[in-house]
Amino acid sequence: MAKPFSFVSTARTVVFLLAAVIAVTAQTASKPDVIDELRKIGLAESDLERLESGEPVIKELERSVRREVAIIGAMKLRFPFELAAKGLERAVDNQRRESAKEAGSFSRSPDVEDLASLEFDSGDIGDLRGCVVGGCEWNLSEEIIKALEAEVDWQADDAEARAEAILKRELVEYVRAYLADGNRSLMIYRDTDPAVDLGEEYQEIGPRIPFLNRFARPLAIHVRSYPADRPESTEEVLSWSEVKIGLKPVVMFTHTISYLPDHAARYSVSKQIFANHYIDSTLGLTALFGFPGDNGDPESLLIFVSRSRASALRGRLGGLMRGLIEDRAKGKLNEFMSDTRRFTELAFANRNADAEREANLRAERERSRIITLLWIAVPLVMAAGGIVLFLLLRKRAS
C-alpha cells in the first residue's frame, strides 16, 4: 500500500504536547492580542462579553464578492489546551462520521490506486453526457472536459465505466501537478462562463483570513507560496472525501496544513483544490489557543474562520437567499462548537481513565489518518449545505 502523503516534522507528538518551538517571524498570541484581533474584524463588545461568559459567538464577516459566504466562530473553553485539543479532535471525527460517505488520502506519488475506493454516483457520471466547455454539470477544467469528449463513446455499454476511469486518471494528474507546482497548477473551472480560476480565488481570499498574518506568519507565507517556504512544526495532508450533501454527493479534494508553533497554539489551514459540485472555493482556518485564566486556571479559545465562494450565488436570487445560506452555515458551526465543548468536558471527566482506554483512543485516532483533513470538512460541509438549500429553492422558484 502506498505511503500516505504527509510531511511531519521531527518529534511531532513532542512538539504538539510539550515543545515550545516559537516561530520568530510570528507574534506569540496572548489572550489580549486575540481579543484585539476579534475586535478588528468586527466583533462588538457585547459579543466579547458573551464569549468571555463561555457562550459561542458566530458572526458573518464582510464579503469581498457577491458569491462569497464568510463566517467566524469563537468559543471559550474553561479547560487546559491539551484537553481542548482532544475535544476538538473528537468533534472533527464526529463531523466526518456524520457527513462523509467515503474518504482517503493521496500517497506521496499520487496514483489512480489512491482513488480505488471512490465510486462516483451513476447518475452523477451520466450528467457528463454532453459536457462541453462552458456548459457542464461538473466543475471541471477544459483539459478534463476535452478528454471526456475525445475518449468516451456515450453509446457504448461501458461508457460510464470509461468516463469514471478517465476522470480518475485526469484528477490524479491534477493532484500531481499541484504537489509539484502548487498554486500555479490549481484548476480553472470551465464548466460555466465566466470561468473560475482557483489560483486567483485564493490570491484574493488568503489575505482576508484573520489571525494568520499576525500570529502564524510562517504558515501564511507557506499557504501563499506553496510548496515553497514550509515552516518547521508543520504537518500536511492531501485527501479526498465524498460528502453527503443535498441532491448529490460531493467529491472534494482538500489540502490541510497544520502548524504547531508552541505547546499552547495550533493552527490549521484548509484549502479546497477540487469539488465537483456546488462550491467553487473554500479556505478555512481553525485555531486553538491556550491561556492562563484570569483566576489562574488554564483556559482555551477556539477560533474558526471560513470563506467560501459559489457561482450559484451570482444569479438574481443570490442576494435574496444569502441570509438563509448564512443561517444554515452558522447553525452547522454552532453544532460543531457544541460538540467540541461536550467532548472536551468528557476528556476532562476521563482524564484519569486507565492507560488501556487512552491507548485505544490513540490507536483509533492513528488509524483515522484523515483526521487532519477534517479541519477542512467542517467549512466545506457548512458552506455546501447552505448552497444546496439555496439551489433547491431556486429550482422551485423557477
DSSP code per residue over 141-168? -HHHHHHHHHH--TTSTTHHHHHHHHHH
Please tell me which residue, 289 or 94, carries the higher pLDDT value.
289
Residues 238/254, Cβ–Cβ less than 8 Å: yes
d(C-alpha 270, C-alpha 374), whole Å? 9
d(C-alpha 90, C-alpha 265), whole Å? 18
Per-residue confidence at 386, pLDDT binned at 50, 70, 90? low
C-alpha cell at 22: 516559537
Q: How many domains does the chain have?
A: 1
- Residue type, position 352, single letter: N
| pLDDT score of 355 | 46
Strand partners of residue 197? 188
Distances (CA, A) of 154 to 62, 126, 149, 159: 45, 9, 9, 5
- Residue 196 falls within a domain, yes or no? yes
Q: What share of the chain is helix, strand, coil (3-state, %, to 5)?
A: 50, 25, 30
* pTM of the complete model: 0.82
- Residue 1 falls within a domain, yes or no? no
- Residue 278 falls within a domain, yes or no? yes
The H or E element that residue 264 is part of is none
| pLDDT score of 132 | 96
- Residue 270 falls within a domain, yes or no? yes
Question: What pLDDT, in 10s, does the model give residues 255-267?
Answer: 999 999 988 999 9
C-alpha cell at 168: 480518475
- Residue type, position 112, single letter: V
- Residue 355 falls within a domain, yes or no? yes
C-alpha cell at 188: 480553472
| pLDDT score of 315 | 66
pLDDT at 392 over 50: no
Q: Which domain holds residue 295?
A: 6-397
| pLDDT score of 8 | 40
Whole-angstrom Cα Rg for the chain: 21
- Residue 200 falls within a domain, yes or no? yes
Mean pLDDT within 332-338: 92
CA dihedral 200, 205, 207, 209 (to 10 degrees): -160
DSSP state of 98: H
Residues in contact with 344: Cβ distance below 8 Å, sequence separation at least 6, in sequence order:
77, 79, 83, 84, 86, 87, 88, 300
Per-residue confidence at 357, pLDDT binned at 50, 70, 90? low
C-alpha cell at 359: 491507548
> For helices 81-99 and 374-397, what crossing angle results, to 10°?
40
- Judged by average pLDDT, the poorest of 99-108, 283-292, 293-302, 355-364 is 355-364
pLDDT at 278 over 90: no
- Judged by average pLDDT, the poorest of 111-125, 249-263, 312-326 is 312-326
DSSP state of 372: G
